[in-house]
Amino acid sequence: MIDCINLTHYYGKRCIYENLSFSVPQGRILGLLGKNGTGKTTTINILSGFLKPRSGECRIFGQNIIGMNPELRRDIGLLIEGHIQYSFMTIRQIERFYARFYPQWDKNVYYDLMSMLKVAPNQRISRMSCGQCSQVALGLLMAQNPKLLILDDFSLGLDPGYRRLFIDYLRDFVKSSGKTVFLTSHIIQDMERLIDDCIMMDYGKIILQMPVDELLGKYRQYNFKLAENSTLSEMADVYHPTVIRGNVELGSFLDADELKSRLVAKGVAFEDFSSQKVNLEDAFIGLTGKY
């Protein structure tokens, strides 16, 4: 559904990323995870055709987005960071406005969601809370009924209740109709409930792309205590080890026995070895580091 090949982008002389490649298969929900400034919104802007990468190409529905037929955007739903909409319109006016652009528009889906907000149809969007605005934006996306949804930081500004509501509605909508979703969020707990696959970005590169189930099934956080006079040296396949007063915490896709044997081989003496499964947020921090 989406194919990005060797994307390179700079802001001035600052490299955002070089030769970034990924693809989003049809019918999957893919989350782009990364720290602030790693280029998540830049990627969304490139995917939306608002930004031309310095090199590389991005294809949606098989067409290069630069020079894409505008009518193909009927099948792409876009949620802008902060659930931005035409706030000078009312709930009814904005529905009427968008309905004219999309032949498969389903206003019942939109008004069903709006009826749950308990706001009048003539309420202006600018006078609604951030949570209510998110529901308006979601309702419009669902009414548009696109094949592909691109959501930029959908959780921005939402309290936990509205985040949960947004995710549950979105997941039900997407799974019941086989949509493809590409999304970013800075709240990774939310992603765990929603996404099938994830891409983790660090500055300038992709660390991994894999199904969330596989990631959570294989990734482990290990803790152990270094024996006196023992130090932890550089090791392959180990992510961001931290040592505080002899207590080591690190993440790895290696199983416990393999890690232990590598530590022994490196001459690292340790005790109180333990391993645990982690949630997506801990895996993200483990893989990208705290800083």
Q: Is 50 in the site for other proteins (CB under 8 A)?
A: yes
**Residue closer to other proteins, measured from CB, 186 or 218:** 186
Interface mask toward other proteins for 2-41; x: CB under 8 A = ---------x-----------------------------x
Question: Residue 154 and residue 78: Cα distance in Å, rounded?
Answer: 11
Measured from the CB of residue 290, what is the shortest distance to other proteins in angstroms? 26
Closest listed residue to residue 161, CA positions, set 149, 151, 169, 150: 169
# residues near other proteins by CB under 8 A: 29
Measured from the CB of residue 71, what is the shortest distance to other proteins in angstroms? 5
Residue 228 one-letter amino acid: E
Q: Is 48 in the site for other proteins (CB under 8 A)?
A: yes
Helix (H, G, I), strand (E, B) or coil at 255: coil
**Residue closer to other proteins, measured from CB, 72 or 269:** 72
Question: Residue 236 and residue 106: Cα distance in Å, rounded?
Answer: 53
Measured from the CB of residue 291, what is the shortest distance to other proteins in angstroms? 24
The stretch among 65-73, 226-234, 251-259, 283-291 that binds other proteins (CB under 8 A) is: 65-73
Interface mask toward other proteins for 82-121; x: CB under 8 A = x-xxxxxx---x--xx--xxx-------------------
Q: Is 49 in the site for other proteins (CB under 8 A)?
A: yes
Beta bridge pairs of residue 208: 200
Which H/E stretch holds residue 166?
helix 160-177
Q: How far is CA 156 from the centre of its chain?
A: 12
**Residue closer to other proteins, measured from CB, 80 or 207:** 80
**Residue closer to other proteins, measured from CB, 42 or 221:** 42
Cα separation values, 170 from 156, 195, 285, Å: 15, 11, 26
Backbone angles phi, psi at 2, to 5 degrees: -125, 130
Beta bridge pairs of residue 242: 249
Question: Residue 114 and residue 177: Cα distance in Å, rounded?
Answer: 21
Contact residues for other proteins, defined by CB under 8 A: 11, 41-42, 45, 48-51, 70-74, 76, 78, 80, 82, 84-89, 93, 96-97, 100-102
